[in-house]
């Protein structure tokens, strides 16, 4: 088996200055430009933001609360990260998203560093460019949840341990264990589980990797990785007892993974499609590289001088692919699936793609990799054509948005020309990277404002916040996904009414209230004899979705803020 040669420089490194400037511009646009323009997306963003607000207001820095009740969803560390900007920055949406956005910058830096250490400067910078324009980074930086900080710590820790293992750097090894421990303190024991799955998989497929891994100081490492995550659950167990065990240990970890708690979950292949779509336009190159790796792994050991197609994958290939396969396979078995769960595989995939690109430039790639590279251009052209058709025929977007499909088609044509047989592969995949940047500019400039127009919840909640007196009760009646954003923007405790018993108890109380609901529910309550009158109403979409962009996107829902009917008024 080949042993990787570590390089501090690589062909094209003399051009790294302009590339770093380009990367900096990309990071600003993708992660920070118009960061706070959109109100909170339903439902998770406002859930985390409101919990952090209550953390600051209560001054209880160990126990998260949401709407006045203990919140056992995730450990405390992310709320601390979010609380710093939310205490200093006046705009709540910007403040809540700063922690993920900063984590995105650092994750790109960690990926570049990892690439520098393993493959040289050119591969490291290319991987950074690919990750900076990755759809997952763009989306998660603008969604105030913990997945980007979690991935930063988790992949950063795994990267440090890997480099320490390959380069005999003990100090770096301990730093890696600490970062994994911080991932554990951010999202819980899933960090340790994912590392364990990857560890078992690596040991099973490579004797050399197993020998090197077992030479690490795992006893000390396990202690270091466990310690950061222990104080919070110990404190919560002491304070809340069985409620914490049931809410966090069972519901948020074991049951969520192993039992069908929610209906309508996708099948086992869901994450395969997420990875294939999320890594566009590099998907063809990654599939080709995967094919090469599997074929090389199954082939007999190659002798020096044999063609690249007969060489077995080196140790780093195995480590990166085991990390990707371990994450995707683990979450594919889960009974509850969200698309961003597999995001920690993205940095490794960007490194694999970057290495494939530079192997092709150096003449070390076989026909499969070259085929994958030559698919990048057509992929961009097809994507541009589909988006152009949708923008012209199906979507209700301004004409300026057509810069997006134009950029994709142009970049695809340039890339197809540069990657043609006999062509000279450029040092950096500049055209596809710039095209992806234009896609995100288009999303921020034209798509996000269009989606924002359909959101009714911030307007309704702010009206209630301005008009409700301190003695009035505030409630939301069967709004489900509305509840968290409504709670945040109304700025006071909200009674959530879901069942008939909840409704009877709420409306039988003679004290004044404002309750938000659909107009359909309002009419049903009045028909049932509940004395109500409309204090405020607004049309909007039930949930935020891509349907808001369609020329025939469906009817809007009429939402009302109801109050008790005045004396003498009959329903």
What tens digit of pLDDT does each residue of 189-200 get?
999 999 999 999
Contacts of 320 (CB under 8 A, 6+ apart): 348, 351, 352
> Do 223 and 364 lie in a common domain?
yes
**Kindly report the CA angle at 247 between 246 and 248, in degrees rounded to 5?**
100
Q: Which long-range contacts does 13-20 make (Cβ < 8 Å, 24+ apart)? A: 13/120, 13/121, 13/122, 15/427, 15/428, 16/121, 16/122, 16/125, 19/125, 19/129, 19/428, 20/125
Do 471 and 512 touch, CB atoms closer than 8 A? Answer: yes
Least confident span in 272-276, 397-401, 530-534, 553-557: 553-557
More confident residue, 513 or 309: 513
pLDDT tops 80 at residue 494: yes
343 DSSP assignment: G
Which residue stretches of 59-169 are H helix? 77-88, 92-119, 121-132, 135-141, 147-167
Cα-Cα-Cα-Cα torsion 433, 419, 3, 124, nearest 10 degrees, comes to -20
> Do 50 and 97 lie in a common domain?
yes
Mean residue pLDDT across the chain: 89
- Percent over 90 (pLDDT), the chain: 70
What's the pLDDT tens digit per position in 71-120? 998 999 999 999 999 999 999 999 999 999 999 999 999 999 999 999 99
> Do 390 and 509 lie in a common domain?
no
Can you tell me the distance from the alpha carbon of 280 to that of 303, in angstroms, rounded to the nearest whole number?
35
pLDDT tops 50 at residue 3: no
Domain boundary among 373, 400, 423: 373
Buried b or exposed e, range 407-446, using 16+ CB within 10 angstroms = bbbbbbbbbbebbeeeeebbbbbbbbbbbbbbbbbbbbbb
**Is 2 within the bounds of a domain?**
no
> Do 437 and 463 lie in a common domain?
no
pLDDT tops 90 at residue 184: yes
Residue range 38-66: mean pLDDT, rounded: 91
Residue range 502-525: mean pLDDT, rounded: 93
pLDDT tops 80 at residue 262: no
Closest CA to 146 of 75, 205, 196: 75
**Is 7 within the bounds of a domain?**
no
Residue range 515-526: mean pLDDT, rounded: 94
pLDDT at 16: 66
What's the pLDDT tens digit per position in 112-159? 999 999 999 999 999 999 999 999 999 999 999 999 999 999 999 999
Closest CA to 462 of 67, 37, 40, 34: 40
- Percent over 70 (pLDDT), the chain: 92
pLDDT tops 90 at residue 274: yes
Residue located via tokens 């923007």:
489
**Is 1 within the bounds of a domain?**
no
Can you tell me the distance from the alpha carbon of 523 to that of 461, in angstroms, rounded to the nearest whole number?
21
> Do 163 and 87 lie in a common domain?
yes
Do 419 and 376 touch, CB atoms closer than 8 A? Answer: yes
> Do 131 and 209 lie in a common domain?
yes
Residue range 344-350: mean pLDDT, rounded: 97
Q: Quick one: 320 exposed, middle or buried, by C-beta within 10 A (0-12, 13-18, 19+)?
A: buried
> Do 468 and 530 lie in a common domain?
yes
> Do 346 and 223 lie in a common domain?
yes
Can you tell me the distance from the alpha carbon of 555 to that of 67, in angstroms, rounded to the nearest whole number?
31
Residue 313: C-alpha distances to residues 200, 206, 568 (Å): 19, 10, 82
Confidence tier at 443 by pLDDT (50, 70, 90):
very high
**Is 322 within the bounds of a domain?**
yes
**Is 52 within the bounds of a domain?**
yes
- What is the dihedral sign for C-alpha 251, 252, 254, 255? positive
> Do 42 and 184 lie in a common domain?
yes
Do 205 and 293 touch, CB atoms closer than 8 A? Answer: no
Residue range 503-514: mean pLDDT, rounded: 93
540 DSSP assignment: E
What's the pLDDT tens digit per position in 374-426? 999 999 999 999 999 999 988 888 999 999 999 999 999 999 999 988 778 89
Domain boundary among 438, 453, 468: 453
Confidence tier at 171 by pLDDT (50, 70, 90):
confident
Please spell the DSSP secondary structure of 105-136, one letter per residue.
HHHHHHHHHHHHHHH-HHHHHHHHHHHHT-HH
Kind of pairing between the strands at 532-540 and 557-564: antiparallel
**Is 321 within the bounds of a domain?**
yes
Phi, psi dihedral angles at 70 (to 5 degrees):
-55, 140
Our count of domains for the chain comes to 3
pLDDT at 570: 44
Any idea what the CATH number is for the domain that residue 482 is in? Answer: 3.40.190
Do 350 and 385 touch, CB atoms closer than 8 A? Answer: no
Domain boundary among 425, 453, 481: 453
pLDDT at 158: 97
Can you tell me the distance from the alpha carbon of 129 to that of 366, in angstroms, rounded to the nearest whole number?
24
Kind of pairing between the strands at 473-477 and 495-497: parallel
pLDDT at 6: 45
More confident residue, 309 or 178: 178
Residue range 467-480: mean pLDDT, rounded: 91
Can you tell me the distance from the alpha carbon of 248 to that of 241, in angstroms, rounded to the nearest whole number?
11
Least confident span in 62-76, 118-132, 192-206, 301-315: 301-315
> Do 246 and 186 lie in a common domain?
yes
Look at phi and psi of residue 134 and say left if phi exceeds 0, alpha if psi is from -120 to 50, else beta.
beta
Residue 381: C-alpha distances to residues 56, 311, 404, 421, 432 (Å): 49, 33, 11, 18, 11
Can you tell me the distance from the alpha carbon of 139 to that of 297, in angstroms, rounded to the nearest whole number?
35
**Is 301 within the bounds of a domain?**
yes
What is the domain range of residue 23? 13-373
> Do 448 and 496 lie in a common domain?
no
Residue range 262-290: mean pLDDT, rounded: 91
**Is 262 within the bounds of a domain?**
yes
Residue range 3-8: mean pLDDT, rounded: 44
Number of other residues whose CB lies within 10 A of the CB of residue 238: 9
More confident residue, 22 or 93: 93
Residue range 158-178: mean pLDDT, rounded: 92
First to last CA, the chain: 82
Q: Which helix (H) or strand (E) holds 57?
A: helix 44-58
Phi, psi dihedral angles at 179 (to 5 degrees):
-65, -40
> Do 394 and 472 lie in a common domain?
no
More confident residue, 556 or 425: 425
Crossing angle for the helix pair 283-298 and 367-374, nearest 10 degrees?
170
């Amino acid at each position: 088996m080949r042993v990787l040669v570590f390089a501090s420089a690589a062909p094209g490194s003399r051009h790294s200055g302009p590339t770093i400037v380009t990367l900096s511009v990309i990071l600003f646009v993708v992660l920070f430009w118009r960061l706070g323009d959109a109100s909170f997306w339903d439902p998770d963003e406002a859930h985390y933001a409101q919990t952090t607000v209550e953390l600051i207001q209560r001054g209880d820095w160990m126990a998260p609360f949401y709407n006045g009740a203990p919140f056992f969803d995730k450990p405390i560390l992310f709320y601390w990260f979010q609380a710093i900007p939310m205490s200093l920055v006046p705009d709540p949406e910007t403040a809540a998203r700063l922690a993920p956005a900063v984590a995105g910058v650092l994750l790109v830096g960690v990926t570049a560093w990892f690439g520098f250490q393993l493959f040289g400067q050119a591969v490291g910078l290319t991987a950074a460019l690919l990750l900076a324009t990755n759809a997952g980074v763009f989306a998660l930086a603008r969604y105030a949840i913990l997945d980007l900080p979690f991935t930063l710590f988790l992949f950063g820790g795994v990267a440090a341990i890997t480099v320490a293992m390959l380069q005999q750097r003990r100090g770096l090894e301990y730093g890696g264990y600490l970062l994994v421990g911080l991932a554990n303190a951010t999202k819980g024991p899933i960090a340790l589980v994912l590392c364990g799955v990857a560890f078992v998989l690596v040991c099973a497929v490579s004797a050399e990797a197993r020998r090197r891994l077992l030479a690490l100081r795992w006893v000390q490492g396990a202690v270091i990785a466990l310690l950061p995550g222990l104080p919070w659950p110990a404190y919560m167990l002491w304070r809340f007892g069985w409620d914490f065990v049931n809410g966090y240990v069972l519901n948020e970890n074991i049951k969520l993974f192993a039992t069908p708690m929610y209906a309508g979950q996708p099948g086992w292949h869901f994450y395969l499609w997420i990875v294939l779509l999320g890594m566009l336009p590099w998907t063809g190159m990654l599939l080709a590289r995967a094919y090469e790796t599997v074929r090389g792994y199954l082939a007999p050991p190659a002798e020096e001088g044999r063609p690249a197609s007969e060489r077995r994958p080196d140790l780093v290939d195995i480590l990166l692919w085991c990390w990707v396969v371990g994450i995707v396979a683990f979450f594919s078995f889960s009974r509850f699936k969200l698309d961003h769960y597999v995001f920690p595989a993205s940095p490794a995939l960007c490194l694999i793609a970057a290495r494939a690109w530079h192997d092709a430039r150096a003449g070390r790639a076989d026909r499969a990799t070259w085929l994958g590279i030559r698919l990048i251009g057509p992929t961009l052209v097809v994507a541009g054509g589909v988006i152009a058709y949708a923008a012209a025929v199906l979507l209700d977007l301004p004409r300026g948005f057509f810069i997006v499909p134009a950029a994709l088609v142009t970049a695809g044509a340039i890339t197809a020309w540069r990657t043609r047989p006999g062509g000279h592969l450029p040092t950096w995949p500049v055209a596809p990277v710039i095209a992806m940047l234009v896609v995100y500019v288009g999303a921020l400039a034209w798509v996000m404002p269009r989606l924002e127009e359909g959101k009714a919840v911030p307007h309704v909640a702010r009206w209630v916040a301005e008009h409700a007196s301190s003695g009035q009760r505030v409630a939301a009646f069967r709004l489900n996904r509305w509840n968290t954003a409504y709670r945040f923007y109304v700025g006071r405790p909200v009674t959530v009414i879901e069942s008939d018993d909840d409704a009877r108890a709420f409306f039988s109380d003679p004290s004044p209230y404002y309750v938000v609901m659909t107009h359909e529910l309002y009419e049903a309550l009045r028909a049932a004899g509940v004395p109500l009158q409309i204090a405020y109403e607004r049309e909007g979409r039930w949930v935020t979705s891509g349907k808001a962009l369609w020329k025939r996107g469906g009817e809007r829902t009429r939402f009302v803020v109801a109050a008790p009917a005045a004396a003498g008024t009959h329903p």
